[in-house]
């Protein structure tokens, strides 16, 4: 339930625009080799207004949420829009009516944990790792939570309150090897506050054993051969592929900025096995990892099918870009902090699962690689993508071989997706990453395993 | 703007009242006037105001840091109380400490007021000139800002510093398009106190726009070879960050820094000098006070190829029983060398003019790979063509040991000044 009651300001909001009360909160703990080195909390709150006049937007924000702050931000945003409108061409095509209404609250219903409770959990987890895996060179644990509480009021009648939270436990472990230190990570958590996401002992045991097994293999790992290779990208990589390689190129602001996807609408850009959707809040009958029910322009969030059976179908839009393209606005405009304006952002982007079994896919590769986990990633207007690969194995004659040292893969997405020959029948989501585009943003990424050709960095 | 000194006093008082043995506070205010261009046209004018109060309390050698952005006395008091409660919940570490007493000081830099007319005029000139001289370029996003910043840093040892620093900052991100042919995006930007130089003439903007226009006709290299790269000033920060990352407490505390025991030893080719120059007059935005409350000094990180300091703050130095750095890891300067850029290019038998690196995070051992973006293939001393789908793999510590030359020319980005650097023996692979 909103503590700000923005609806009382509706009579002050004239013309085309929105008012947003917004507070971000974080909690973060870090432990290295049993020593607590990070113990921090933060809160950042304020009010913003954005006004549209004759083709120009004016925005203003202050670190205060009150009736007088409302007057100040509305006045300044209006002045800014009016000033800038003298330097732009008139744009008066009507934008979608922003009239979503709703209330979504992910505040935990469990007993709130104190800092002491969380540090105790971390001490237990660290002690367990030290005892079970005594040869580790280093153990790093992070527990963190991000809360995003917002209320949006628009001239179209939207009034949307949300308190979305995500929280994670990240575990990094490293070993010495002939190639220097090698490391792997394991992540627990997702939507909700820390109280909802601390993993059970069984889950911890299972996932840490698995991570340690990979780490031991990686300590004896080899660099892959550089160049074009046949690979099986496991689901986590398919997720980042969906986000980085395709998703960004189909954001309408990047399309207007020259993205190659601007030339491909309605064309075959991928194998017919590939369907890619940016889900709003529910995917395949399950709640998405980071559900978005309405955006920060007050538009109800709806799924956007980007590629259907290999054909590029849609871009992602703000209200303004949708009006410029003559397309439908489906709720992609989101802002990170109270002093940020809404930008076109992905929500939960995924390649849909297919019909193949992962084991059969691996067995079908004569000489290639099975890529399991990723680090950072980057997109380009050409659709050339790059992601770090932090875990992978050789495939020789259909069987998994030696582990790989960290590497990078790249390709031109709209070429590479045409090389997809198999898509697995299961999918997984990841949600702990943060997308960067002027502002940071929380995003979900999902997918099945896919078989395709990519360029590998290596020796 | 509220009186930041009053808020600092309240915060320190509240921390002590709640039982903090040692207390450090930083109070900040920031106002930004920002002009935005998307797809070559003005879209948005923003005025944003923010403020912040950060508190660090140490009690029984247990520490916590909390921050907020509300200055009401009651809110500051509650934040102080929570900071001490959170610290008490922490774990003791003898290394936690605050900066010692230093003589109070006030610092000021940059112009007093935003000049929106000047910002608009410079931006309009830039848009107009780009349209005429570089017709293939789409200015995807241009941001022009005037930023006012005020900070008060104080602690219970009597430290009290005030800084007021204003500057203009701008950046442009762009792509070239010719029919259906598209270049990779590229970007650059800088900071200035007077905004006298046209945007086209600073931070290598003109060169990058020219390069992007040519890059619509990029092509891939056949096969794989070991060759040379000339890393441009725009691309160098990736590698500087790769090097200095090993000098921070995180990497050293885990015992996995490749430079763990390398102080005063050779970690780069002789003649290579990397410095942190927070007080350098060349820079429009000096950094007078470090994050941990010590006054900044200009320091040498690598001198004539030898490592001169780890980049440790007070905690890191105490924890690792090493000397702390007297500057934060910013305001980098690499000394220029004695080779003209054109001669440097002439000396490359086979390699790349390496202009942007889209890379994976380096592995713990320094291995790194990624895509060479906006880059050009060099053969027999001549730039041949812009490349696409080209990967570069190497090892960052080894690359600094394989420096073949440093250019006479350099670029100033407002908070760093960097030359072109010629590095040998990296793996370059095409399709």
Tell whether A342 is within 8 A of chain B (Cβ).
Answer: no
Widest distance between CA atoms in chain A: 71
A261 with A126, same domain?
Answer: no
Say yes or no for a CB contact (<8 Å) between A405 and B367. yes
A53 with A200, same domain?
Answer: yes
A214 with A65, same domain?
Answer: yes
Say yes or no for a CB contact (<8 Å) between A384 and B224. no
pLDDT at B1 over 80: no
Contacts of B122 in chain A (CB under 8 A): none
Domain assignment of residue A365, yes or no? yes
Contact A97, A178 (CB under 8 A): no
Contact B58, B87 (CB under 8 A): yes
* Domain covering B4-216 in this structure, CATH number: 3.30.2290.10
Final residue in a domain of this structure, among A219, A241, A261: A219
CA dist B266 and B307 (Å) reads: 6
A206 with A280, same domain?
Answer: no
Residue A446 in tokens: 């999902």
Nearest chain A CA: its distance from B366 CA (Å):
9
How many domains in chain A? 2
Cα–Cα nearest to B364, from A435, A375, A238, A235: A375
Tell whether A137 is within 8 A of chain B (Cβ).
Answer: yes
Report pLDDT for A458: 67
Nearest chain B CA: its distance from A357 CA (Å):
29
Q: Which of B49, B63, B360 sits opposite A61 (nearest CB)?
A: B49
pLDDT at B87 over 90: yes
Q: For all residues of chain B together, what is the average pLDDT?
A: 96
State pLDDT tens for residues B209-259: 999 999 999 999 988 899 999 999 999 999 999 999 999 999 999 888 999
Report pLDDT for A366: 97
Question: Which residue of chain A is at minimal alpha-carbon distance from B50?
Answer: A63
CA dihedral B75, B80, B86, B90 (to 10 degrees): 160
Say yes or no for a CB contact (<8 Å) between A174 and B364. yes
CA dihedral B100, B106, B111, B116 (to 10 degrees): 70
Report pLDDT for A228: 87
Domain assignment of residue A306, yes or no? yes
Tell whether B81 is within 8 A of chain A (Cβ).
Answer: no
Question: Which residue of chain B is at minimal alpha-carbon distance from A86?
Answer: B42
Q: Domain spans of chain B?
A: 4-216, 224-429
- pTM (2 decimals)? 0.94
Q: Which of A88, A226, A405 sits opposite B41 (nearest CB)?
A: A88
φ, ψ dihedrals at B267, nearest 5°: -120, 0
Percentage of chain B lying above the pLDDT 90 cut: 94
Q: What angle do CA B165, B169, B175 make, to 5 degrees?
A: 165
φ, ψ dihedrals at A41, nearest 5°: -135, 150
Final residue in a domain of this structure, among A219, A241, A259: A219
Q: Which of B371, B395, B396 to mutate to test the interface with A (most CBs of A within 10 A)?
A: B371
Contacts of A223 in chain B (CB under 8 A): 367
Tell whether A367 is within 8 A of chain B (Cβ).
Answer: no
Residue B397 in tokens: 């510590």
Cα–Cα nearest to A320, from A152, A157, A93, A101: A93
Report pLDDT for A459: 64
Cα–Cα nearest to A343, from A264, A422, A419, A438: A438
Contact B244, B251 (CB under 8 A): no
CA dist A273 and B254 (Å) reads: 45
DSSP label of A45: E
State pLDDT tens for residues B119-138: 999 999 999 999 999 999 99
Tell whether A438 is within 8 A of chain B (Cβ).
Answer: yes
Q: Which of A183, A341, A456 sits opposite B364 (nearest CB)?
A: A183
Contact A450, A231 (CB under 8 A): no
Q: Which of B85, B361, B427 sits opposite A375 (nearest CB)?
A: B361
Report pLDDT for A275: 98
Question: Which residue of chain B is at minimal alpha-carbon distance from A140?
Answer: B254
Cα–Cα nearest to B95, from B321, B326, B305: B321
Q: Which of B88, B119, B225, B369 to mutate to test the interface with A (most CBs of A within 10 A)?
A: B369
* Domain span at A291: 227-456
Domain assignment of residue A347, yes or no? yes
Q: What angle do CA A49, A51, A57 make, to 5 degrees?
A: 115
Tell whether B358 is within 8 A of chain A (Cβ).
Answer: yes
Contacts of B91 in chain A (CB under 8 A): 35-36, 119, 123
Burial class of residue B248 in the structure, from the number of CB atoms within 10 Å of its CB (0-12 exposed, 13-18 middle, 19+ buried):
middle
Say yes or no for a CB contact (<8 Å) between B389 and A410. yes
Contact B29, B149 (CB under 8 A): yes
Cα–Cα nearest to A384, from B219, B166, B132: B219
In DSSP terms, which residues pair with A172 in a beta bridge? A140, A185
Strand blocks (E) in A14-89: 16-32, 35-53, 56-62
C-alpha pair distances (Å), B273 with each of B266, B352, B400:
12, 23, 11
State pLDDT tens for residues B148-202: 999 999 999 999 999 999 999 999 999 999 999 999 999 999 999 999 999 999 9
Q: Which of A45, A258, A388 sits opposite B182 (nearest CB)?
A: A258
Say yes or no for a CB contact (<8 Å) between A384 and B388. yes
Residue A1 in tokens: 């339930």
Contacts of A252 in chain B (CB under 8 A): none
Final residue in a domain of this structure, among A167, A184, A219: A219
Say yes or no for a CB contact (<8 Å) between B370 and A408. yes
Q: Which of A44, A58, A89 sits opposite B69 (nearest CB)?
A: A44
pLDDT at B333 over 70: yes
Say yes or no for a CB contact (<8 Å) between B51 and A45. no
Please report, for chain A, how many H helices and E strands are present, in that order. 9, 26
Domain assignment of residue A1, yes or no? no
C-alpha pair distances (Å), A77 with each of A48, A74, A82, B47:
9, 5, 9, 8
Report pLDDT for B430: 85
Domain assignment of residue A252, yes or no? yes
User: What averages of pLDDT result for each successive group of 10 residues across chain A (459 residues)?
Assistant: 90 92 97 91 96 96 97 97 94 94 97 94 96 96 98 97 98 92 94 96 96 97 90 94 94 96 96 98 96 98 98 98 97 98 98 97 98 91 92 98 94 94 96 93 97 86
CA dist B294 and B54 (Å) reads: 16
């Amino acid at each position: 339930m909103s503590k700000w009651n923005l609806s009382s300001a509706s009579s002050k909001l004239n013309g085309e625009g929105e008012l947003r009360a917004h507070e971000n909160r974080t909690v973060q703990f870090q432990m290295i080799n049993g020593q607590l080195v990070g113990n921090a909390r933060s809160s950042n709150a304020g009010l913003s207004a954005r006004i549209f006049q004759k083709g120009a937007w004016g925005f203003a924000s202050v670190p205060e949420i009150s009736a007088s702050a409302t007057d100040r931000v509305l006045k300044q945003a209006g002045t800014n829009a009016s000033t800038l409108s003298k330097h732009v061409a008139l744009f008066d095509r009507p934008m979608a009516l922003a009239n979503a209404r709703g209330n979504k609250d992910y505040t935990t219903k469990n007993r709130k944990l104190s800092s002491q409770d969380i540090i105790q959990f971390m001490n237990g987890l660290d002690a367990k790792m030290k005892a079970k895996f005594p040869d580790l060179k280093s153990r790093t644990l992070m527990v963190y939570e991000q809360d995003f509480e917002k209320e949006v009021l628009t001239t179209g009648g939207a009034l949307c309150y949300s308190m979305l939270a995500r929280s994670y436990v990240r575990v990094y472990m490293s070993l010495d090897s002939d190639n220097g230190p090698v490391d792997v990570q394991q992540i627990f958590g997702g939507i909700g506050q820390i109280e909802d996401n601390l993993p059970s002992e069984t889950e911890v045991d299972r996932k840490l054993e698995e991570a340690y097994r990979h780490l031991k293999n990686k300590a004896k790992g080899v660099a892959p051969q550089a160049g074009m290779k046949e690979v099986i990208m496991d689901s986590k990589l398919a997720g980042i592929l969906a986000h980085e390689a395709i998703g960004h190129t189909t954001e309408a602001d990047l399309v207007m900025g020259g993205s190659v996807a601007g030339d491909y609408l309605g064309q075959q850009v991928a194998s017919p096995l590939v369907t890619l959707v940016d889900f709003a809040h529910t995917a395949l009958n399950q709640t998405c990892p980071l559900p978005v029910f309405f955006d920060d322009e007050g538009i109800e969030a709806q799924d956007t099918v980007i590629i259907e059976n290999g054909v590029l179908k849609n871009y992602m839009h703000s209200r303004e870009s949708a009006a410029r393209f003559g397309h439908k606005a489906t709720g992609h405009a989101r802002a990170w902090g109270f002093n940020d304006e809404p930008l076109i952002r992905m929500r939960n982007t995924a390649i849909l699962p297919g019909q193949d079994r992962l084991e059969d896919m691996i067995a079908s590769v004569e000489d290639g690689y099975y890529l399991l986990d990723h680090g950072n990633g980057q997109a380009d207007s050409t659709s050339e993508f790059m992601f770090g690969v932090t875990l992978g194995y050789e495939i020789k004659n259909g069987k998994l071989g030696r582990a790989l040292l960290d590497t990078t893969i790249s390709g031109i997405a709209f070429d590479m997706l045409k090389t997809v020959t198999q898509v697995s029948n299961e999918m997984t989501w990841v949600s702990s990453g943060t997308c960067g585009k002027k502002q940071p943003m929380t995003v979900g990424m999902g997918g099945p395993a896919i078989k395709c050709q990519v360029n590998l960095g290596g020796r | 703007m509220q009186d930041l000194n009053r808020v600092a006093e309240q915060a320190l008082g509240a921390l002590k009242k709640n039982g903090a043995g040692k207390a450090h506070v930083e109070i900040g205010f920031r106002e930004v006037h920002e002009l935005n261009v998307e797809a070559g046209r003005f879209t948005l004018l923003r005025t944003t105001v923010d403020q912040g109060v950060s508190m660090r309390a140490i009690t029984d050698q247990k520490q916590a840091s909390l921050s907020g952005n509300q200055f009401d006395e009651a809110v500051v008091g509650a934040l102080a109380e929570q900071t001490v409660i959170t610290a008490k919940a922490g774990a003791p570490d003898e290394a936690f400490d605050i900066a010692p007493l230093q003589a109070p000081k006030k610092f000021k830099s940059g112009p007093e007021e935003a000049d929106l007319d000047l910002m608009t005029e410079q931006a309009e000139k830039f848009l107009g000139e780009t349209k005429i001289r570089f017709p293939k370029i789409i200015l995807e996003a241009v941001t022009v800002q005037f930023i006012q910043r005020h900070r008060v840093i104080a602690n219970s040892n009597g430290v009290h510093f005030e800084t007021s620093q204003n500057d203009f900052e701008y950046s442009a991100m762009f792509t070239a398009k010719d029919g259906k042919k598209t270049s990779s995006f590229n970007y650059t930007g800088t900071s200035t106190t007077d905004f006298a130089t046209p945007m086209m003439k600073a931070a290598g903007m003109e060169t990058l726009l020219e390069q992007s226009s040519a890059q619509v006709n990029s092509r891939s290299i056949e096969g794989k070879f070991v060759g040379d790269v000339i890393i441009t000033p725009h691309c160098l920060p990736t590698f500087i960050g790769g090097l200095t990352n090993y000098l921070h407490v995180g990497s050293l505390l885990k015992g996995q820094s490749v430079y763990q025991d390398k102080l005063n030893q050779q970690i780069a080719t002789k003649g290579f000098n990397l410095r942190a120059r927070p007080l350098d007059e060349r820079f429009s935005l000096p950094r007078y006070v470090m994050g941990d409350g010590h006054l900044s000094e200009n320091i040498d990180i690598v001198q004539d190829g030898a490592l001169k300091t780890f980049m440790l703050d007070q905690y890191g130095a105490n924890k690792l029983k090493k000397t702390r750095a007297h500057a934060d890891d910013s305001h980098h300067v690499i000394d220029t060398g004695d080779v003209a850029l054109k001669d440097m290019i002439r000396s490359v038998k086979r390699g790349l003019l390496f202009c942007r690196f889209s890379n994976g995070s380096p592995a713990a051992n320094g291995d790194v790979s990624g895509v060479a973006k906006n880059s050009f293939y060099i053969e027999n001393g001549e730039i041949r063509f812009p490349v696409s789908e080209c990967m570069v793999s190497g090892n960052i510590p080894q690359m600094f040991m394989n420096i073949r030359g440093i250019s006479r020319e350099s670029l100033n980005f407002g908070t760093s000044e960097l030359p072109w650097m010629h590095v040998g023996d990296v793996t370059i692979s095409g399709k």
